[in-house]
Amino acid sequence: MLIANAYAQGTAPAADPTGGLMGLLPIILMFVVLWFLMIRPQMKKAKEHKEMVGNLQKGDEVVTQGGVAGRITKIGENYIHVEIADNVEVALQRQAVATVLPKGTLKTL
């Protein structure tokens, strides 16, 4: 006989119900790590910035995101006026304030 007989193969073993969950476990673990290392601290920082911007008052000494330091002279709903030199005021969005400096810091700069 020149050709060997071909026989049907046996059936595949049944799928393990926990196999799908174990396959997703690395993805779930990566998401949890990203949440605690990247997303959560970023949300905390954004919340602190929003609170700081909401608490701005006339006379506060601030530094903008562009690095300009000055004293707040007027506060509006969305904009503030910052005096950066004698008789020189600029209008900025409230969100442009990066930090609030301690009182008297501008005199030392």
Residue 43, classed as helix, strand or coil, is: helix
What kind of fold does domain 57-109 have according to CATH?
SH3 type barrels. (2.30.30)
Check residues 28 and 10 and name the one with the higher pLDDT: 28
Distance CA 40, CA 46 (A): 10
Q: Is the pLDDT of residue 28 over 80?
A: yes
Q: Is the pLDDT of residue 33 over 80?
A: yes
Strands ordered across the beta sheet of 61-64: 88-93, 79-85, 69-75, 61-64, 97-101
Given a contact cutoff of 8 angstroms between Cβ atoms, the answer to whether 64 and 82 are in contact is: yes
Q: Please tell me whether the overall predicted TM-score, pTM, comes out greater than 0.85 for this model.
A: no
pLDDT tens readout for residues 64-98: 999 999 999 999 999 999 999 999 999 999 999 99
